[in-house]
Structure 1
């Protein structure tokens, strides 16, 4: 069996140094060297040579593979890890506050599982168990998940709003919102040299403009209006834009929050618009919120404005930059639950 294998050739191809020595030992053994001579030639112990030859005779070439050391046994059993995972997940979803720090988890393991870990090991194990230190999303304490799920049954709400003779495939869903931009501006992340601490100017003046924005995710169509204030008159002008954009024979259902100027009397003069209010405390259902984030991050943060006209110009440029890419509008604002099947 030994004569049929070219151990020398195998050793030249082997990348693992430990296995290469074992192959060379077998090469010398197949050529007639005794184990003591092999040990002296390779500068290893005779016991090692005996073990390698025996492993080869028992399991073949696979018997020469290096065995990974078993390492120290885990301090926590699988059941303890499951218990700890449930504890972390419960606090991450808790409505009364769930911000666990590494020190909190370290203390809980010590007091409940009687195991003491160094802080560096806590972080390593958390990643190993599938946890990460990630940013959370805000949620109002009065928010109702059930109300949100009911609202997502959008076809039922649309059917109730629209005339019975109008098929769903003649209805356009729009999302509408407004945001304030101005001299009390936001700062955001930026690219800079690693290790540096760049500073962005933050003004202390109080000039603002209000951007009314509306998006139809199905088509990528958009409408916007910039005003120095928010009220019913401004809202009516914005709805007039959407009404004029809606093609003859179609109906626009405009989804918006419950702001004080979002009232039914603002749409009474438009026979091709219906208003649908979001559940209370549910801004995350409105994709225009993501549009505001995009505008701030990509065009409006980390800068100063000389006055109202400068703010208007900057908001106009930012909005036009966003909407010129229809694919971007559709991608950012499409929600599966807001698509009508017709």
Structure 2
């Protein structure tokens, strides 16, 4: 037999996060304070039968009697092995060999053909979420891209450091990622929240004024550096390298990862004794995390708007970049790679 007087219900109620359990505790608290079961049911908007059941379970088993029992629920239509097979099918056919994407209707046909189980479209989507799938936008991939070259590049660190003139240890090297992007009146529109069934309109200019933002970030420290220029060439690139050189702490060496643009020549770094650069494999922009910086700037700051002219574009790009780097944690999280 368990006694209500021995329980500190206000403390338990304050700590309880489960709403149903909190209701049961409140019911017993009311009874402990002198309310009868009918009054308690009225206070909590529940049936008197439920209050009777909670009291009975408490008297028999204490607070453990109020806990919900594990519900077995309806048995799964597919076995564990069948779920593994279905997941492998989705992973291997997400992009069809002849082009296009794997649709829910094709998944329904596959499950019915392979396992003899019929699913509705809603339930096939629910099953995908249970298996860890999400509806995502794919990243672009160049048809000439070499996965072998990418895997070789990912092992660049030790080889690059060994080639640095002088004695530089692994712990004194900062890896920077550099790139440039064009922003201007040929602007982008983005997805946004709106009422179901509506399609809001966003401004998209047709003029041609633009500028370039040259940006660089060091994910390990959160350091960054950017310049804005009306065009890009080797002279502008040298100015950016000079900025990165000044942002590199004394006694450290910066290895700058760049793409294969014509103005990213390796000899441009020779005039700086604290940095060197290394090119990405061809057709591999996804290896450069600063691509996500450009996406962040467009999605959060520069899309869905008009620019009056060149000076306005420059001013808004400066504000957008400064807002991005104002949160060091955001810089690191967005650009860090294993």
Contact 1:19 1:66 in 2 (8 A): no
Deviation at 1:118, TM superposition (A): 3.2
Instruction: Determine the structure 2 residue equivalent to 1:213.
Output: 215
1:204 pairs with 2:193: no
Deviation at 1:173, TM superposition (A): 1.9
Contact 1:91 1:98 in 2 (8 A): no
Which of 330, 333, 339 is equivalent to 2:332? 330
Q: TM-score, normalised by structure 2?
A: 0.72
Which of 79, 101, 104 is equivalent to 1:99? 101
- Highest Rg: 1 or 2? 1
Which of 222, 225, 229 is equivalent to 2:224? 222
CA distance in 2, matches of 1:69, 1:235: 64
Runs of 4+ in 1 over 6 A off after TM superposition: 12-16, 18-21, 65-70, 93-96
CA distance in 1, matches of 2:89, 2:106: 11
Residues 265, 163 of structure 1: CA spacing in aligned structure 2 closer, same or farther, 3 A cutoff?
closer
Structure 1 gap ranges (5+): 25-61, 337-342
SS in 2 for 1:259: coil
1:263-313 Cα shifts (integer Å, max 9, x gaps): 123223323321111222222222211211121122101101122111111
1:143-179 Cα shifts (integer Å, max 9, x gaps): 3334333322243132233124222333222110000
Instruction: Determine the structure 1 residue equivalent to 2:323.
Output: 321
Figure out how many residues of one structure are paired with residues of the other and give that number.
Answer: 292
Which of 75, 82, 85 is equivalent to 1:83? 85
Instruction: Determine the structure 1 residue equivalent to 2:171.
Output: 169
SS in 1 for 2:176: strand
Instruction: Determine the structure 2 residue equivalent to 1:143.
Output: 145
SS in 2 for 1:267: helix
Residues 107, 228 of structure 1: CA spacing in aligned structure 2 closer, same or farther, 3 A cutoff?
same
Instruction: Determine the structure 2 residue equivalent to 1:157.
Output: 159
1:125-160 Cα shifts (integer Å, max 9, x gaps): 333444333333333333333433332224313223
1:13-53 Cα shifts (integer Å, max 9, x gaps): 998969979x99xxxxxxxxxxxxxxxxxxxxxxxxxxxxx
SS in 1 for 2:246: helix
SS in 2 for 1:134: coil
